[in-house]
């Protein structure tokens, strides 16, 4: 007899993408502070909570602020030791979903330092995904009159200039470098522009999400106003509102003052990529038929909402009468749109997949959608309506390999004449649900 013992490996959590942590105040011991944690889910799973570590000594009477997407909103938060736990009604969160959780009412640690946060998504007590955020720096001194502006706020714009302004608080400590955070995805070869106070010299580098202005030496005897212009940057390609955390440093990188600027919004456009043509074919039998477009490339839309408005959007389809030039199909009851290639009467919506990171659109449309044709000026029919607060970023609707591809259906009456019928189909995406 031979005995075989099998050891089942423990499932390991996937890594959260784009994990970030920002704070409304960076002075140690500050009260009434808001922390915002954002990340992109790596694994499709039911989730019931998210945990986020904070520095030792963090305190306060915590409450929930703004949470997205809407599916995970409406929860509660608790602080135990160095862990914030945000709990909500269990819901399935798809891979690629962008999540943002704001927690209010916090009191910062009293210990100067630079801290990251470990964020974990939880399903019924078991970790699903885990990630480590970018760092937040807390200092004893607080910069004032903070500001940040960009010469262009269009996503992906090149050769942009960013200008950071602030006034120092701590005196009689020499400043040798200054760091300024920028949105994830910022690129380019930065160069130094106009700087106040004049004559500081120095150089600037970009690493990850941090610009570092170094090679300077200034001993402020009174609070001193700074303005630092950085040229040669390429904007993030992800729409959103971004603050900048600014930190002044002394010898050997010693922390002096810090602060957080008001947010700058980077925006783009709202676009839809639709099939360039549709192909439907059948052999007439003398009976009514429902035929569907079986070409995989025709079974999806890709919608990219980079407006950062949160207004939602809707897709409309209009079509002229299907005609051979001599014979026509009826305008009513002929053209149908649904989330199925197996049934023209399916009540399912097309599947949703984030292209990279998105807030998945939540449709309010009822399926199937009947598209009434007309010889001229056909009336558009809404085939997908993303509710406000959803559909931000780039998402694919349907897809030939998904459970619910887009189904383009034609109902052909039994008395239809043989021939090649054509129609001009127009697909449009419009802001607003």
Percentages of the chain per state (helix, strand, coil), in multiples of 5: 0, 50, 45
CA Rg, the chain, in Å?
A: 28
How far apart are the C-alpha atoms of 393 and 268, rounded to whole Å? Answer: 10
The third-level CATH classification (topology) of the domain covering 139-267 is: Immunoglobulin-like (2.60.40)
Give 74's strand partners: none
Mean pLDDT by 10 residues, the chain (433 residues): 33 82 97 97 96 98 96 96 97 95 98 97 94 96 97 97 97 96 97 96 96 96 96 96 97 95 97 95 89 97 95 97 95 97 97 94 95 97 96 96 97 93 96 91
The third-level CATH classification (topology) of the domain covering 14-137 is: Immunoglobulin-like (2.60.40)
Query: According to the model, what pLDDT value does residue 9 have?
Result: 36
Q: Which residue has the tokens 């919608």?
A: 303
Query: According to the model, what pLDDT value does residue 6 have?
Result: 34
Before 232, cis peptide (omega within 30)?
no
């Amino acid at each position: 007899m031979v005995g075989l013992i099998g050891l089942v490996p423990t499932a390991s959590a996937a890594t959260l993408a784009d994990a970030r942590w920002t704070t409304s105040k960076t002075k140690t011991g500050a009260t009434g502070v808001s922390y915002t944690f954002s990340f992109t889910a790596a694994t499709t799973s039911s989730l019931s909570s998210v945990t986020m570590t904070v520095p030792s000594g963090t305190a306060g009477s915590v409450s929930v602020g703004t949470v997205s997407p809407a599916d995970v909103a409406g929860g509660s938060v608790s602080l135990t030791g160095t862990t914030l736990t945000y709990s909500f009604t269990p819901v399935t969160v798809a891979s690629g979903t962008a999540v943002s959780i704001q927690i209010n009412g916090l009191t910062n640690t009293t210990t100067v330092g630079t801290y990251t946060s470990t964020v974990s998504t939880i399903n019924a007590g078991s970790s699903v995904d885990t990630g480590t955020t970018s760092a937040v720096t807390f200092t004893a001194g607080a910069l004032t009159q903070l500001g940040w502006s960009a010469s262009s706020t269009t996503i992906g714009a090149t050769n942009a200039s960013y200008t950071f302004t602030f006034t120092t608080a701590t005196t009689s400590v020499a400043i040798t470098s200054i760091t300024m955070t920028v949105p994830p995805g910022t690129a380019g070869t930065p160069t130094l522009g106009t700087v106040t106070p004049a004559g500081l010299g120095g150089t600037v580098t970009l690493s990850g999400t941090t610009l570092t202005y170094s090679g300077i030496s200034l001993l402020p005897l009174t609070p001193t106003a700074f303005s630092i212009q950085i040229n040669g940057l390429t904007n993030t390609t992800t729409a959103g509102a971004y603050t900048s955390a600014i930190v002044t440093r002394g010898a050997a990188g010693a922390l002096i003052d810090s602060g957080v600027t008001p947010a700058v919004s980077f925006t783009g456009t709202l676009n839809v990529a639709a099939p360039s043509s549709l192909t439907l074919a059948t052999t007439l039998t003398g009976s009514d038929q429902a035929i569907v477009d079986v070409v995989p490339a025709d079974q999806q839309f890709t919608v990219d909402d980079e407006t950062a408005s949160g207004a939602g959007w809707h897709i409309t389809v209009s079509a002229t009468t299907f005609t051979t030039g001599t014979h026509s199909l009826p305008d009513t009851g002929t053209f149908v749109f649904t989330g199925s290639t197996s049934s023209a009467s399916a009540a399912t919506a097309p599947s949703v997949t984030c292209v990279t990171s998105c807030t998945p659109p939540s449709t309010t449309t009822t399926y199937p959608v009947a598209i009434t044709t007309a010889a001229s000026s056909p009336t558009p029919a809404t085939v997908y309506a993303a509710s406000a607060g959803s559909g931000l970023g780039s998402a694919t609707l349907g897809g030939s390999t998904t459970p619910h591809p887009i189904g383009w259906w034609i109902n052909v009456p039994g008395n239809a004449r043989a021939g090649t019928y054509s129609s001009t189909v127009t697909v449009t995406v419009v802001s607003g649900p």
